[in-house]
Structure 1
Amino acid sequence: MSTPSPDRREFLKWVGAASVGAPLLGAGTSIAAPTPTSTAETAVKALYDSLTDAQRAKIAFDWNHKDPNRGLLRTFVSNNWQITPFRVKSDFYTAKQQAIIHDIFKGLINPEWYSKFMKQLKDDSGGKPWGAEQSIAIFGKPGDAQFEFVLTGRHQTLRADGNTEAHVAFGGPIFYGHAAENFNEAKDHPGNVFWEQAKLANGVYQLLDDKQRKRALLPESPDESEVAFQGKSKPIAGLPVGELSGDVKKAMQKVLAALIEPFRAEDRDEAMAALTKQGGLDATRLSFFADEDIGDDQVWDNWRLEGPSFVWYYRGSPHVHVWVNVADDDSVKLNARG
Structure 2
Amino acid sequence: SAKSSAETVAAKLYGSLSDAQKKVIAFGFDHPLRKKISPNWAITKPTIGADFYTAEQRVLIDKVVRGMMSEDGYDRVMQQMEDDNGGFNEYHVALFGKPGTGGFEFELTGRHLTLRADGNSVDGAAFGGPIVYGHGIGNPKKQLYYYQTQAADKVFKSLDAKQAAAASVGKEPKETAVLLKGKTGSFPGIKVGELSKDQQKLVEATIKTVLNPYRAEDVDEAMKVLKAGGGVKSLNMAFYTAADLDNDKVWDVWRLEGPTWVSYFRGAPHVHAFINVGLKNV
Instruction: Give the TM-score normalised by the residue count of structure 2.
Output: 0.97
- Confirm whether residue 109 of structure 1 aligns to residue 69 of structure 2: yes
Counterpart pick for 1:212 among 156, 159, 163: 163
Aligned pairs for 1:136-215 within 5 A:
136-180=93-137, 185-186=138-139, 189-215=140-166
- Confirm whether residue 318 of structure 1 aligns to residue 269 of structure 2: yes
Match of 2:15 in 1: 49
Cα distance between partner residues in 2 of 1:326 and 1:319: 23
Q: 1:261-293: per-residue Cα shift (whole Å, max 9, x none)?
A: 100111101100000000001100000011122
- Confirm whether residue 80 of structure 1 aligns to residue 50 of structure 2: no
Match of 1:37 in 2: 3
Aligned pairs for 1:297-336 within 5 A:
297-329=248-280, 332=281
Match of 2:84 in 1: 124
Q: Give the CA deviation at 1:234.
A: 2.8
Q: Which amino acid aligns with 2:256?
A: L
Cα distance between partner residues in 2 of 1:268 and 1:229: 18
- Confirm whether residue 236 of structure 1 aligns to residue 168 of structure 2: no
Cα distance between partner residues in 2 of 1:86 and 1:289: 37
Cα distance between partner residues in 2 of 1:170 and 1:215: 31
SS at match of 1:296: coil
SS at match of 2:275: strand
Counterpart pick for 1:290 among 241, 244, 261: 241
Q: Which amino acid aligns with 1:124?
A: D
Cα distance between partner residues in 1 of 2:181 and 2:29: 26
Q: Percent identity?
A: 43
> Which segments of structure 1 move beyond 6 Å, counting only runs of 4 or more?
none
Q: Which amino acid aligns with 1:162?
A: G
- Answer with 1 or 2: which has the greater Rg: 1
Q: Give the CA deviation at 1:247.
A: 2.4
Cα distance between partner residues in 2 of 1:85 and 1:288: 37
SS at match of 1:248: helix
Q: Which amino acid aligns with 1:209?
A: D
Cα distance between partner residues in 2 of 1:178 and 1:237: 25
Q: Which amino acid aligns with 1:49?
A: G
Structure 2: where are the runs of 5+ without partners?
none
Larger % of helix: which?
Answer: 2
Cα distance between partner residues in 2 of 1:284 and 1:165: 23
Q: Which amino acid aligns with 2:117?
A: A
Match of 2:27 in 1: 61
Q: Which amino acid aligns with 2:48?
A: V
Q: Which amino acid aligns with 1:101?
A: I
Q: Are the equivalent residues in 1 in contact too, given 2:65–2:74 (CA < 8 A)? A: no
SS at match of 1:299: coil
Cα distance between partner residues in 2 of 1:64 and 1:130: 27
Computed over aligned residues only, the root mean square deviation of the Cα atoms, in angstroms, reads 1.1
Cα distance between partner residues in 1 of 2:265 and 2:272: 6
- Confirm whether residue 90 of structure 1 aligns to residue 41 of structure 2: no
Q: Give the CA deviation at 1:113.
A: 2.4
Aligned pairs for 1:1-40 within 5 A:
35-40=1-6
Q: Which amino acid aligns with 1:130?
A: F
Cα distance between partner residues in 1 of 2:133 and 2:152: 17
Q: Are the equivalent residues in 1 in contact too, given 2:180–2:278 (CA < 8 A)? A: no
Instruction: Give the TM-score normalised by the residue count of structure 1.
Output: 0.81
Cα distance between partner residues in 1 of 2:130 and 2:218: 12
Q: Give the CA deviation at 1:83.
A: 0.4
Q: Give the CA deviation at 1:117.
A: 1.6
Q: Give the CA deviation at 1:112.
A: 2.4
Cα distance between partner residues in 2 of 1:172 and 1:196: 24
Q: 1:73-120: per-residue Cα shift (whole Å, max 9, x none)?
A: 111121010100000111000000000000001111101222222211
Structure 1: where are the runs of 5+ without partners?
1-34, 66-71, 334-338
